[in-house]
Structure 1
């Protein structure tokens, strides 16, 4: 059996990584695994993991020879054709808070949308994190096919028996003393800032991380986890209280290490909510993003798991009074978790793999 894996167009990450590691932990014989790797990310793959450069004829040949394809995003390689009998498992990469594909206010050119629709037409199975996630993803992609409603494999680590040890290890790696409040800032990208996916050159960060760290004091640190589309985005130099963790291998480990998440319109809030730790929504460009760029799948100001804060002063005040702010959001947070995270229990990878191995797939 030949399996080709793809995450974020050439990274070793996300749901495909979790499924790959769960699969290989079983040590099955007669299975060849091959990852698509971008030139910027090739060195970050673990030793022994076979890769092929994405965007090359070799990558197209690998896709067309595969028995199983696993991806968390569209595979946009010219002229590739799925082999008859092959299974294309699409995990996607998050519950959509921002509107995506045909649902979004911003639309790429028609030829790009046609290419994306062609890819959707190849999908045999779509992994979803919740019943609500199924509804949103089906609608956005006009996808009528089979669904595995299992929870997200990438979140299994948040339930791992060694999660406390993982948290301690990451905090030690980042030099965070005991008692330091770790503030994880994980925003999404803006289509008008990442146009052409050139890395967000000169795009504003949205947050003055150094000023925030000064206001929070010596017992706090701000961890910047910028979107991989924004790899050239301007950011402050690393220091004791502000660190760029955008290249950290697994964001789930950062979720375990952080004390609070600050995000905007990222699906990170759905994953982080599993931890039960506070979430603050820093929506400094709310009207632009909601009304002109993307739009939302829920009423952010009434349904998000934390307060929606429109400027840095309000964000700072919330962080300085975090226990009180979190307590005030507890009921809304619980409703959010029940709606979007009820399937998450640390066994999503097992459920997906069992469905593939046993052939007990939902009807098409």
Structure 2
């Protein structure tokens, strides 16, 4: 039945829009009923990452910074999770609770919390006049977003539907976090903030999510390698591709089949390195990794990709925003864009020329292997790399979370 439904809404835009309007209407009615007796508490904060899928990203780093700050010793913290049972350890933090995503308890937590801190669009719920919705977002954009999209080949959204979703979120959030002047400019246009009179909603103090990249320890690196059973002495190649707008399968979701020739890569680098495969959180990968055990590790369910960054020696990606964050480590990056000709002009356009990317752009397996060898053997960051890092991460220094907290909660701006 679910497969039939998704097939229908992919084909018929009017049906898709109508079903979303009806769903939103009923969600909001239920929310009002379920929270009618709930009062908002000025010292309760709700956190969510990737719509409840994990404990990570900017919400995690802001939460941890609050745990270290005596200013919040009387505050209560609530995390929303799809699977609360996996995150019971969070309740070891003072005054911290967990609610299940989509439950009545979640709706009541939304109403109770004076502050919402998320890195995803809160599509169906509206914050009250006395509530503060802090949109952390989840990366510097390479692909155009929202009102900046001129065309796209998305399976579930037209250009107009994309723009409407961003406009709705732009109206709702109180603040949106930005790591750079570039991102501030793009968020302002993508969310149509100028037309909304909300240009001052952007807080440009660096990305809290990247604080960990400046504050991690070698003991943490060793512990992470051991937890993943990575052999001592082997290099780590992190392969983190993004999803494709046109790859949605009815009843399954967005899917991805890695295109890299792992047989060839194992033959070339199996004695020297391992590959960590990390799919985008949208993706339901249908690839069987059993054939490549002890060489390719599927870490798609690993909560915090920042922890994978710090244990890796090389990043391979494509159009994902992960490379902006990874640049903070000044380590080699490879852009495996085997479908570049199809992607540009048909699926999604970019915000800047790919010539600015801080690494090799490769399209074939042979080119990929040659680039991996160079990255492992003799990488030295060049002027292009350092220029890229300065442009897109000018404020990242390990203290972004503290600056964001000072601005929003303490009325201080540094």
Q: TM-score, normalised by structure 1?
A: 0.90
Q: Secondary structure at the match of 1:243?
A: strand
- 1:279-314 residue CA offsets vs partner (Å, 9 max, x unmatched): 0000011122221111111111x1001010011210
How many pairs were matched up? 355
The correspondence of residues 45-124 of structure 1 with structure 2, limited to 5 A, is: 46-48=89-91, 49-77=96-124, 80-104=125-149, 105-106=151-152, 108-109=157-158, 110=160, 113-124=163-174
Q: Give 1:113 shift.
A: 4.7
CA distance in 1, matches of 2:50, 2:208: 15
Structure 1 unaligned runs (5+)?
A: none
Tell me if the contact between 2:257 and 2:285 (Cα under 8 Å) persists in the aligned partners. Answer: no
Give distance in 2, aligned partners of 1:224 and 1:205: 9
Residues 263 and 282 in structure 1, CA contact (< 8 A), matched pair in contact too: yes
- Report the secondary structure of 2:202's partner residue: strand
Q: How does 1:336-347 map to 2 (within 5 A)?
A: 336-347=388-399
- Say which SS state the counterpart of residue 190 (structure 1) adopts: coil
1:298-337 map, 5 Å = 298-300=352-354, 302-322=355-375, 326-327=379-380, 330-337=382-389
User: Is residue 57 of structure 2 the alignment partner of residue 14 of structure 1?
Assistant: yes
In 2, the alpha carbon distance for the partners of 1:151 and 1:171 equals 28
How far residue 158 of structure 1 moved from its aligned partner, in angstroms, is: 1.0
Is 2:78 the counterpart of 1:34? yes
Match of 1:155 in 2: 210
Larger helix proportion, structure 1 or 2?
A: 2
TM-score by length of 2: 0.80
The structure having more radius of gyration, on CA atoms, is 2
Contact 2:406/2:413 (8 A) holds in 1:
no
Distance in 1, Cα, partners of 2:252 & 2:80: 20
Compared with structure 1, are the counterparts of its residues 196 and 295 closer, same or farther at alpha carbon in structure 2 (3 Å cutoff)?
farther
Alignment of 1:97-246 (within 5 A): 97-104=142-149, 105-106=151-152, 108-109=157-158, 110=160, 113-144=163-194, 145=198, 146-160=201-215, 162-194=216-248, 198-201=252-255, 203-237=256-290, 239-246=293-300
Contact 2:175–2:203 (Cα < 8 Å) also in 1: yes
Runs of 4+ in structure 1 deviating by more than 6 angstroms, as ranges, are none
Tell me, yes or no, if structure 1 residue 286 matches structure 2 residue 331.
no
1:353, 1:14 → 2: CA distance? 15
1:3 aligns with 2:45: yes
Contact 1:95 1:129 in 2 (8 A): yes
Describe the SS at the equivalent of 1:281.
Answer: strand
- Deviations, residues 314-348 of structure 1 (Å, cap 9, x unaligned): 00111123267734x61211110111112111000
Conserved in 2, the CA contact under 8 Å of 1:130 and 1:149? Answer: yes
Partners of 1:33 and 1:179 lie apart in 2 by: 41
Distance 2:190 2:226 in 1: 41
